[in-house]
Structure 1
Amino acid sequence: MATIGILRAGTPRALRATVCLLAAGLSASTGFALDAGPVALPQSAPHYRVGDNWTFLRSDALSGKGRTFTQTVTAVHTDGSASLLIGPGGGRLELTSEANVVPSGAGQQACGIALHFPLQAGTHYEADCRAVSESGMTVTRRAQCDVEGVETVQTKAGSFPAIKIRMSGTWSPQSGYGGGPMEETLWYAPSVKRVVREEFQGRLAGKGVPATAAVELVRYAVKP
C-alpha cells in the first residue's frame, strides 16, 4: 500500500522525499479495541480474484486534505501474486502472494514487505527492503516485525477484526546524508485480503519533529 507523508514545517527535504517509500506500500477518527477473547482468523495468505478492488484514503492531518486511490486486480498469476491497476492515473503495481505491494517489473523489493504468513500471534521476523524514489534516491529499510494479535479496527470502510503487526527499525539512503529510526503499525484484515490501516512515523537522525504517514481503507469489493 502506498502512503503519503504528513510533514510539519521545517521537516528536512531528505525525509520528505523518503516517507512515501518507507511506509508499507485516513482522516476520520479511528478506534481500536482489543478483542476480549481469542479470535480465530485465517492465518494463511489470501487468494485474489480478478476484479477484487480496494479504495484507500491518504490524509494530511495538518492541511486537512486527503486523496483517494483505487487498486484493482487485473490478473492473478500462478504463484498467487496479482497485477494491480491504479486509479486515477492508470499506474500499475504488483501485489505479492502475501499481500505486499511492490513495483511492477522491478528488480528490487519496495518498502511494503511487512507481511509474512502465517500471521500467528507472537511471531517475530525481519523485513528488509530497498526502494528508489522518483528523484532517484535509493533508500534501505531494516525493521523487526512482531505479530501482536487481533484487534478490531474501525475504518471508513467499516469495522474489521484485524491482525496487528508492529514494526520498528531504521531507514537510510544508500548514499549521502540522512537516515534515522522508524516505527510502523499495520492492521491486516483477512476478510478484505489487505492491510486496512497503516501508520508510519520516522525521524531524520532521530531528531526533530517526526514525519508521519497514514492510510485507511475507504471501500472495497472482493470475491471469496
Structure 2
Amino acid sequence: MKAIESMRSSMHIGSRAAVCLLAAGFAASTSSAAGAESILLPQDAPHYRTGDNWTYLWSDLLSGKSKTITQTVTSVHADGSASLQIGPGGGHVELTSEANVIPNEAAQHACGIALHFPLRAGTRYEADCQASGEAGTTVLRRAQCEVQGVEEIKTRAGSFSAIRIRMTGVWSPQSGVGGGPMEETLWYAPTVKRVVREEFQGRMAGKGAPATTATELVRYAVKP
C-alpha cells in the first residue's frame, strides 16, 4: 500500500509542477480535424515570459482529495527554461524549455517527462524519470510516448485545440517490492504554452483498483 501511495504522489506535479486531469463532466472531443493538425503540427517548443501563470486543479479520484496550485514564471533562462513560483505556500520548481516540470526540493513529486518537441503526429519516443514519494521512497518510471494528433479539449479554463500525447509503461520503487503498469494521457495547448489536461492511472502489479489522478487547467494568463 505504501508503494501505491508513493507512486500516486510521485507521478504528479504537485505543481506540475503540477501537471499535469480526469474530472467528471470534462470530456475530450475526438473529432480531430486534418486542418487543425496542419496548423498545430509540427509544433515548436514554447517561449515563456516573466509573469506567465497557470492555475491547476489536481484530483485523486480514489480518495476524493484535491488541491489547487498556481505557478508563475519569475525568470526565463538563456536555454529557454524558466523558474516558477508555486502558490499557495511558496516554493519553486523549474520548467524545461520543452514545458516539462522537473523535481526539486520544493516539488519533489514532480515527474514531468512526456513532452519532446517538435510534437509531430505519429512520433514515438521513450521517457524515463524518477521522483520522490511522500514516504521518502524513490519511484522510477519508464514509458513509451506517442504523439497521437490534435483534438478539442474542454477544461475549466475553456476549450483548446490541443496535441494529445499517450504514455504507456511501468513504474517501480527503487528499492523494495512493488511496481506495475501505468498509463498517462496529456493534452498540450500551444496557445497556453503548457499541458492543459492530464490523466494518469497506475496499478500495483496490475491488480486492484488503479491509482487514478487528474490535473486540469483552471485559469491562465500568458504573454505572446
Question: TM-score if structure 1 supplies the norm length?
Answer: 0.88
| Mapping of residues 50-89 of structure 1, within 5 Å | 50-61=50-61, 64-89=64-89
Root-mean-square deviation (CA), in Å? 2.0
- Cα pair 1:28 1:156 within 8 Å, conserved: no
Give the counterpart letter for 2:4 in structure 1: L
Q: 1:14 pairs with 3, 7, 13, which one?
A: 3
| Mapping of residues 71-110 of structure 1, within 5 Å | 71-104=71-104
Quote how far apart the aligned CAs of 1:64 are: 5.0
Quote how far apart the aligned CAs of 1:71 are: 0.3
- Structure 1 pair 174–66 and aligned structure 2 pair: CA distance change class (3 A): closer
Quote how far apart the aligned CAs of 1:189 are: 0.2
Which residue does the alignment assign to 2:34?
37
What are the ranges of 5 or more consecutive residues in structure 1 without an aligned counterpart?
Answer: 1-11
- Between the aligned partners of 1:63 and 1:196, the Cα distance in structure 2 is 23
Give the counterpart letter for 1:128 in structure 2: D
- Between the aligned partners of 1:161 and 1:15, the Cα distance in structure 2 is 33
What are the ranges of 5 or more consecutive residues in structure 2 without an aligned counterpart?
Answer: none
- Cα pair 1:23 1:184 within 8 Å, conserved: no
Paired-residue identity, %: 68
| Mapping of residues 1-224 of structure 1, within 5 Å | 12-23=1-12, 25=16, 26=21, 27=23, 29-33=25-29, 34-39=31-36, 40-41=39-40, 43-61=43-61, 64-104=64-104, 111-224=111-224
- Between the aligned partners of 2:82 and 2:196, the Cα distance in structure 1 is 18
- Cα pair 2:61 2:214 within 8 Å, conserved: no
- Between the aligned partners of 2:183 and 2:91, the Cα distance in structure 1 is 28
Which sits farther off after the overlay, 29-38 or 194-203? 29-38
Which residue does the alignment assign to 1:6?
none
List per-residue Cα deviations over 1:48-93 (Å, max 9, x = no partner): 0000000000124456553211000000000000000000000110
- Between the aligned partners of 1:187 and 1:123, the Cα distance in structure 2 is 15
- Between the aligned partners of 1:208 and 1:14, the Cα distance in structure 2 is 13
| SS of match in other structure, 2:35 | coil
Question: TM-score if structure 2 supplies the norm length?
Answer: 0.88
Give the counterpart letter for 1:92 in structure 2: H
- Between the aligned partners of 1:60 and 1:184, the Cα distance in structure 2 is 14
- Cα pair 1:187 1:196 within 8 Å, conserved: yes
Aligned residues: 212
- Structure 1 pair 68–221 and aligned structure 2 pair: CA distance change class (3 A): same
| SS of match in other structure, 1:32 | coil
